[in-house]
């Protein structure tokens, strides 16, 4: 029977704007769920929205809206974003739904029955924006430690005996080193518990919004207390006969801000108090920062996932699905569990070009175009070479090890490492040279490149589902549906008809920043003002011209040559062949400007050494009024290595 796994994600407040920070929690859950499904697990993946906060009611009222309609509308907006970003949830739970209300009240009653809830006077400070209680001594300059406004609250309320679970929690955390991940956060939780856990007020005066306390309609359940219950409500607890096939959760994904006080202490204590099993692990990811600050609606510094994807789709003419994968790639490749990550639009573009347009795009294009070029329109009937088989197995292993630790960025790096291996493999096995010499090893090299690509399709699938589909289509195979297929020769049978390569990620033209304004210069001599065509031209015939062979090439590496401040050592791909060219364009272009760009190269110049470095060709550039280079490039993406006439 399939292994059952449950993946839970923290549910966003509906008064917030869905941004790439809170989508990270759901995306992490999604990659985990997709990976576990690929491993053959029977996965239950929960997402949802947190709707009972007082601030949500206030936000609705501020707009003169009915709160139920208001939350339904915003919850739907989140759901639409989850759908568009391919969050493959099995359940979307809303905390205003009947099933959640029922579970929250049942859990409250259970804890009451078990003696973990008592009544008393609550006096203290309440931060409405994070729905958190604070003591006087917690405040900083009269505000919450996060700098939010607080209100004085004095009410007869119910308390949860959190303090009673201190030892049990400590014991559990100690006995289960992977209960809280990553390790630095686990240590933070341990020191928080060591300072002593205080009982927590779990009700508020009923403001006409929220889940009524069973038998006490004048009170509602504290929103964090009810929100945490969503995880078990989602499994169908307490009524559904099969709820215990979905609980305990295998993994709970949260952002670092809601780990210590809520998911690593209060939530497990509630479960212990109710006699319910604890989840296996809670993983906290770092924040996505924008301009050095946590992305948040309150600060107004948010990047909206679909706006970012749609803008990319427009700039590159890719579909929204593929643009969403570019966003998924950015977030998964740069996310960190231990630290925060900084989002910049510039990095987003650079990563698109470097990892997707260049590495993944070239890998696909080269493997398919080499096969077709050397007469293999179907997968050859020979085994792949040991080097390729080993690279696939190593990447697969590294991916699995990373995912076992929920280190998604490391898993992404294992998949992209395999894609980069392919480039090096093709360069070192030089199939064009094997073809020239009619070397029988050519077929094995072609098979190897295709098998590496097939394995890469399987590995990127949990991360970039639409891209993986496009890769499978071009390789002429069904999508990888089980982990065991990755690296299995049977997953790409001999005779499979290969499609012609189609670019999935066309390169993004990154606008150059406006140059720094320069000090006004002395007027230049007239002859430099307007570049003129030489007057004494030597005529050549068409035959002379035909001797010069031009081809479209793509720059894949650019490295400054030490001691030569004008020169770059470039590696360019001319079709499937890689060449080194030395070029004097360093003053005009940075390596980032160059990598991935298509250019025009003269390919039959006699090789020379420039500053001791071999140069096997020359690129074409126009000259600006100061003698600087303006690279010539095709007007639109040209087929790799296309002849220029």
Residues that bind ligand MSP (CB under 6 A): 10-13, 16, 21-22, 24-25, 50, 227-228, 230, 254-255, 257-258, 287-288, 294-295
Least Cβ distance, residue 350 to ligand MSP (angstroms): 21
Least Cβ distance, residue 557 to ligand MSP (angstroms): 33
Helix (H, G, I), strand (E, B) or coil at 78: helix
- DSSP notation for 344-357: -HHHHHHHIIIIII
Least Cβ distance, residue 234 to ligand MSP (angstroms): 11
**HSE toward the beta carbon, residue 585, CA cutoff 13 A:** 26
Nearer residue to ligand MSP within complex by CB, 25 or 449: 25
Cα 100 to Cα 108: distance, rounded to the nearest angstrom? 12
Least Cβ distance, residue 282 to ligand MSP (angstroms): 11
Cα 455 to Cα 477: distance, rounded to the nearest angstrom? 12
Nearest partner of 127 among 105, 157, 152, 106, judged by Cα: 152
Q: 211 near 226, Cβ under 8 Å?
A: yes
Least Cβ distance, residue 47 to ligand MSP (angstroms): 11
Nearer residue to ligand MSP within complex by CB, 177 or 291: 291
Least Cβ distance, residue 390 to ligand MSP (angstroms): 37
Least Cβ distance, residue 230 to ligand MSP (angstroms): 6
Nearer residue to ligand MSP within complex by CB, 24 or 213: 24
Least Cβ distance, residue 332 to ligand MSP (angstroms): 13
Q: CA quadruple 409, 411, 412, 413: dihedral positive or negative?
A: positive
Nearer residue to ligand MSP within complex by CB, 78 or 352: 78
Cα 250 to Cα 242: distance, rounded to the nearest angstrom? 16
Least Cβ distance, residue 167 to ligand MSP (angstroms): 25
Nearer residue to ligand MSP within complex by CB, 255 or 465: 255
Nearer residue to ligand MSP within complex by CB, 106 or 621: 106
Nearer residue to ligand MSP within complex by CB, 22 or 105: 22
Least Cβ distance, residue 267 to ligand MSP (angstroms): 8
Q: How many CB atoms lie within 10 A of CB 546?
A: 10
E strand or H helix at 281, and its extent?
Answer: strand 281-285
Cα 211 to Cα 49: distance, rounded to the nearest angstrom? 15
Cα 325 to Cα 464: distance, rounded to the nearest angstrom? 5
Helix (H, G, I), strand (E, B) or coil at 578: strand
Nearer residue to ligand MSP within complex by CB, 13 or 352: 13
DSSP 130: T
Note the Cα 510 to chain centre separation in Å: 21
Least Cβ distance, residue 187 to ligand MSP (angstroms): 19
Cα 74 to Cα 83: distance, rounded to the nearest angstrom? 14
Return phi, psi of residue 413, to 5°: -65, -30
Nearer residue to ligand MSP within complex by CB, 54 or 227: 227
**Total number of residues shown for the chain:** 645
Residue whose C-beta lies closest to ligand MSP? 255
Nearer residue to ligand MSP within complex by CB, 28 or 598: 28
- 3-state per-residue secondary structure call for 136-189: HHHCECCECCCCCCCEEEEEEEEEECHHHHHHHHHHHHHHCCCCEECHHHHHHH
Alpha helices per DSSP H over 430-538: 431-436, 442-460, 465-475, 526-529
Nearer residue to ligand MSP within complex by CB, 53 or 575: 53
Cα 605 to Cα 618: distance, rounded to the nearest angstrom? 7
E strand or H helix at 391, and its extent?
Answer: helix 386-404
């Amino acid at each position: 029977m399939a292994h059952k796994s449950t993946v839970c994600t923290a549910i966003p407040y509906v008064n917030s704007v869905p941004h790439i920070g809170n989508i990270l929690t759901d995306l992490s859950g999604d990659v985990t769920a997709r990976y576990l499904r690929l491993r053959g697990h029977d996965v239950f993946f929960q997402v949802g929205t947190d709707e009972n906060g007082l601030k949500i009611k206030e936000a609705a009222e501020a707009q003169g809206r009915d709160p139920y309609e208001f939350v339904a509308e915003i919850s739907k907006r989140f759901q639409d974003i989850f759908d568009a970003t391919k969050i493959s949830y099995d359940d979307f739970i809303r905390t205003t739904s009947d099933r959640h209300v029922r579970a929250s009240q049942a859990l409250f009653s259970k804890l009451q029955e078990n003696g973990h809830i008592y009544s008393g006077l609550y006096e203290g400070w309440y931060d409405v924006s994070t729905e958190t209680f604070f003591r006087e001594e917690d405040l900083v300059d009269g505000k919450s430690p996060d700098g939010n406004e607080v209100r004085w609250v004095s009410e007869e309320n119910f308390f949860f005996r959190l303090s009673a679970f201190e030892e049990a929690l400590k014991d559990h955390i100690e006995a289960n080193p992977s209960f809280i991940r990553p390790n630095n956060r686990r240590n933070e939780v341990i020191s928080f518990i060591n300072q002593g856990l205080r009982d927590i007020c779990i009700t508020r005066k009923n403001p006409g919004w929220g889940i009524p306390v069973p038998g006490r309609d004048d009170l509602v359940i504290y929103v964090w207390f009810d929100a945490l219950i969503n995880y078990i409500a989602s499994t169908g607890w307490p009524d559904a006969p099969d709820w215990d096939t979905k609980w305990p959760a295998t993994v709970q994904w949260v952002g670092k801000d809601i780990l210590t006080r809520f998911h690593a202490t209060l939530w497990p204590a509630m479960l212990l108090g109710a006699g319910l099993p604890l989840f296996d692990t809670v993983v906290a990811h770092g924040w996505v920062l924008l301009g050095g600050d946590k992305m948040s609606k309150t600060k107004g510094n948010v990047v909206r996932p679909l706006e970012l994807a749609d803008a990319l789709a427009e700039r590159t003419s890719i579909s929204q699905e593929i643009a969403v994968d570019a966003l998924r790639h950015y977030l998964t490749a740069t996310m960190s569990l231990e630290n925060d990550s900084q989002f910049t639009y510039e990095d987003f573009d650079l990563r698109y070009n470097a990892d997707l347009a260049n590495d993944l795009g070239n890998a696909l294009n080269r493997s398919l175009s080499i096969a077709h070029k050397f007469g293999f329109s179907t997968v050859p009937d020979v085994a792949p070479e040991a080097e390729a088989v080993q690279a696939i197995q190593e990447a697969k292993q590294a991916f699995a090890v990373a995912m076992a630790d929920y280190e998604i960025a490391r898993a992404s790096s294992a998949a992209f490492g395999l894609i980069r291996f392919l480039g090096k493999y093709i360069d070192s096995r030089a199939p064009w040279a094997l073809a020239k010499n009619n070397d029988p090893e050519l077929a094995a090299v072609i098979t190897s490149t295709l098998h590496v690509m097939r394995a890469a399709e399987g590995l990127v699938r949990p991360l970039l589902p639409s891209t993986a589909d496009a890769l499978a289509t071009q390789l002429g195979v069904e999508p990888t549906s089980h982990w065991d297929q990755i690296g299995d020769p049977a997953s790409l049978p001999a005779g499979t008809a290969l499609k012609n390569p189609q670019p999935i990620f066309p390169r993004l033209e990154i606008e150059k920043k406006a140059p720094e304004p320069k000090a006004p210069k002395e007027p230049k001599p007239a002859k430099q003002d307007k570049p003129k065509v030489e007057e004494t031209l030597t005529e050549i015939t068409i035959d002379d011209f035909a001797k010069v062979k031009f081809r479209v090439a793509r720059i894949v590496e650019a490295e400054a040559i030490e001691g030569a401040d004008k020169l770059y050592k470039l590696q360019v791909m001319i079709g499937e062949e890689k060449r080194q060219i030395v070029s004097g364009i360093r003053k005009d272009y940075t390596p980032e400007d160059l990598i991935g760009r298509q250019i025009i190269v003269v390919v039959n110049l006699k090789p020379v050494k420039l500053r001791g470095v071999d140069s096997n060709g020359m690129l074409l550039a126009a000259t600006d009024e100061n003698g600087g280079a303006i690279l010539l490039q095709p007007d639109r993406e040209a087929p790799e290595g296309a002849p220029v006439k």
